Amino acid sequence: MLQEGNKAPYFKLKDQNEKEISLSDYKGKNVILYFYPKDNTSGCTAEACSFRDDFPKFKKVETVILGVSPDSVESHKKFAKKYNLNFSLLADEDKEVIKKYDVWKEKSMYGRKYMGVERSTFIIDSDGKIKKIFRKVKVQGHNEEVMEVLKS
Protein backbone atom coordinates (compact mmCIF):
# COMPACT_ATOMS: atom_id res chain seq x y z
CA MET A 1 0.00 0.00 0.00
CA LEU A 2 1.48 3.32 -1.10
CA GLN A 3 1.88 6.01 1.50
CA GLU A 4 2.81 9.66 1.51
CA GLY A 5 6.60 9.96 1.55
CA ASN A 6 7.10 6.82 -0.58
CA LYS A 7 8.88 7.04 -3.91
CA ALA A 8 6.20 7.16 -6.62
CA PRO A 9 6.10 3.96 -8.72
CA TYR A 10 7.67 4.36 -12.15
CA PHE A 11 5.48 4.13 -15.24
CA LYS A 12 5.57 4.60 -18.99
CA LEU A 13 2.27 4.90 -20.87
CA LYS A 14 1.03 6.38 -24.15
CA ASP A 15 -1.01 9.56 -24.10
CA GLN A 16 -3.83 10.66 -26.42
CA ASN A 17 -1.23 11.63 -29.05
CA GLU A 18 0.47 8.21 -28.88
CA LYS A 19 3.48 9.83 -27.20
CA GLU A 20 5.17 7.71 -24.53
CA ILE A 21 5.11 9.51 -21.20
CA SER A 22 7.04 8.38 -18.15
CA LEU A 23 7.22 9.79 -14.66
CA SER A 24 10.95 10.43 -15.09
CA ASP A 25 10.12 12.91 -17.90
CA TYR A 26 9.02 15.32 -15.16
CA LYS A 27 11.92 15.15 -12.75
CA GLY A 28 12.27 18.54 -11.09
CA LYS A 29 8.56 19.33 -11.44
CA ASN A 30 5.52 18.57 -9.33
CA VAL A 31 3.11 16.09 -10.90
CA ILE A 32 -0.62 15.76 -10.33
CA LEU A 33 -1.30 12.14 -11.25
CA TYR A 34 -5.03 11.62 -11.18
CA PHE A 35 -6.80 8.35 -11.82
CA TYR A 36 -10.36 8.35 -13.10
CA PRO A 37 -12.80 5.61 -14.12
CA LYS A 38 -13.92 6.44 -17.67
CA ASP A 39 -13.74 9.03 -20.45
CA ASN A 40 -16.95 10.93 -21.27
CA THR A 41 -18.79 10.13 -18.05
CA SER A 42 -20.23 13.00 -16.00
CA GLY A 43 -17.87 12.96 -12.99
CA CYS A 44 -14.78 12.29 -15.09
CA THR A 45 -15.66 15.03 -17.55
CA ALA A 46 -16.24 17.53 -14.71
CA GLU A 47 -12.89 16.58 -13.15
CA ALA A 48 -10.97 16.86 -16.43
CA CYS A 49 -12.59 20.19 -17.27
CA SER A 50 -11.79 21.64 -13.85
CA PHE A 51 -8.12 20.66 -14.28
CA ARG A 52 -8.24 22.20 -17.77
CA ASP A 53 -9.71 25.44 -16.45
CA ASP A 54 -7.15 25.71 -13.63
CA PHE A 55 -4.23 24.63 -15.82
CA PRO A 56 -2.59 28.11 -15.81
CA LYS A 57 -2.61 28.17 -11.97
CA PHE A 58 -0.92 24.78 -11.79
CA LYS A 59 1.60 25.77 -14.45
CA LYS A 60 2.59 28.80 -12.32
CA VAL A 61 3.64 26.44 -9.50
CA GLU A 62 5.60 24.27 -11.97
CA THR A 63 3.12 21.42 -11.86
CA VAL A 64 2.24 18.97 -14.61
CA ILE A 65 -1.19 17.29 -14.82
CA LEU A 66 -1.50 13.69 -15.98
CA GLY A 67 -4.82 11.83 -16.11
CA VAL A 68 -4.88 8.01 -16.15
CA SER A 69 -7.72 5.62 -16.94
CA PRO A 70 -8.09 2.16 -18.48
CA ASP A 71 -9.51 3.73 -21.67
CA SER A 72 -7.65 3.40 -24.99
CA VAL A 73 -5.44 6.00 -26.67
CA GLU A 74 -8.23 6.47 -29.23
CA SER A 75 -10.84 7.08 -26.51
CA HIS A 76 -8.51 9.61 -24.82
CA LYS A 77 -7.92 11.34 -28.16
CA LYS A 78 -11.68 11.87 -28.68
CA PHE A 79 -12.23 12.90 -25.03
CA ALA A 80 -9.34 15.41 -25.08
CA LYS A 81 -10.50 16.89 -28.39
CA LYS A 82 -14.16 17.12 -27.37
CA TYR A 83 -13.33 19.04 -24.16
CA ASN A 84 -10.21 20.84 -25.40
CA LEU A 85 -8.06 19.28 -22.66
CA ASN A 86 -4.60 20.82 -22.39
CA PHE A 87 -2.77 18.02 -20.57
CA SER A 88 -1.90 14.37 -21.17
CA LEU A 89 -4.36 11.53 -20.66
CA LEU A 90 -2.55 8.23 -20.27
CA ALA A 91 -3.99 4.95 -21.53
CA ASP A 92 -3.54 2.08 -19.05
CA GLU A 93 -5.60 -0.61 -20.75
CA ASP A 94 -3.67 -3.40 -18.95
CA LYS A 95 -4.28 -1.61 -15.63
CA GLU A 96 -0.60 -2.06 -14.77
CA VAL A 97 -0.11 1.47 -13.39
CA ILE A 98 -3.62 1.55 -11.93
CA LYS A 99 -2.71 -1.52 -9.87
CA LYS A 100 0.75 -0.17 -8.93
CA TYR A 101 -0.95 2.87 -7.43
CA ASP A 102 -3.56 0.65 -5.73
CA VAL A 103 -6.61 2.34 -7.24
CA TRP A 104 -8.18 -0.82 -8.79
CA LYS A 105 -10.88 -1.53 -6.22
CA GLU A 106 -14.10 -3.42 -5.73
CA LYS A 107 -16.96 -1.02 -6.26
CA SER A 108 -20.70 -1.31 -5.91
CA MET A 109 -23.54 0.20 -7.92
CA TYR A 110 -27.19 -0.66 -7.50
CA GLY A 111 -26.17 -3.62 -5.35
CA ARG A 112 -23.91 -5.06 -8.04
CA LYS A 113 -20.24 -5.48 -7.18
CA TYR A 114 -17.57 -4.98 -9.83
CA MET A 115 -13.92 -3.96 -10.16
CA GLY A 116 -13.10 -0.42 -11.24
CA VAL A 117 -10.89 2.61 -10.78
CA GLU A 118 -11.33 4.45 -7.49
CA ARG A 119 -11.09 8.16 -8.31
CA SER A 120 -7.76 9.13 -6.72
CA THR A 121 -5.12 11.85 -7.00
CA PHE A 122 -1.44 11.61 -6.16
CA ILE A 123 0.71 14.71 -5.83
CA ILE A 124 4.29 13.76 -6.62
CA ASP A 125 7.00 16.25 -5.70
CA SER A 126 9.97 17.33 -7.78
CA ASP A 127 12.09 14.52 -6.25
CA GLY A 128 9.61 11.81 -7.29
CA LYS A 129 8.17 11.26 -3.82
CA ILE A 130 4.46 11.09 -3.06
CA LYS A 131 3.62 14.31 -1.23
CA LYS A 132 -0.13 13.72 -0.86
CA ILE A 133 -2.70 11.02 -1.67
CA PHE A 134 -6.38 11.78 -2.14
CA ARG A 135 -8.57 8.66 -2.30
CA LYS A 136 -12.29 8.50 -3.15
CA VAL A 137 -12.06 12.00 -4.58
CA LYS A 138 -15.16 14.17 -4.74
CA VAL A 139 -14.78 16.29 -7.88
CA GLN A 140 -16.38 19.45 -6.50
CA GLY A 141 -13.66 21.60 -4.89
CA HIS A 142 -10.90 19.04 -5.48
CA ASN A 143 -8.66 21.43 -7.45
CA GLU A 144 -8.61 23.82 -4.50
CA GLU A 145 -7.50 20.98 -2.17
CA VAL A 146 -4.73 20.06 -4.60
CA MET A 147 -3.55 23.66 -4.94
CA GLU A 148 -3.41 24.07 -1.15
CA VAL A 149 -1.02 21.11 -0.93
CA LEU A 150 1.14 22.45 -3.76
CA LYS A 151 1.42 25.85 -2.09
CA SER A 152 2.42 24.37 1.29
Task: Please give the positions annotated as active site.
Answer: 44
Pick the closest to residue 55 from 65, 46, 47, 45 (CA basis): 65
Cα(130)–Cα(48) distance, integer angstroms: 21
Angstrom distance (rounded) from CA 80 to CA 123: 22
Measured CA to CA in angstroms, residue 104 lies from 4, 46, 111, 135 at distances of 18, 21, 19, 11
**Measuring CA to CA, which residue among 77, 87, 72, 70 is closest to residue 31?**
87
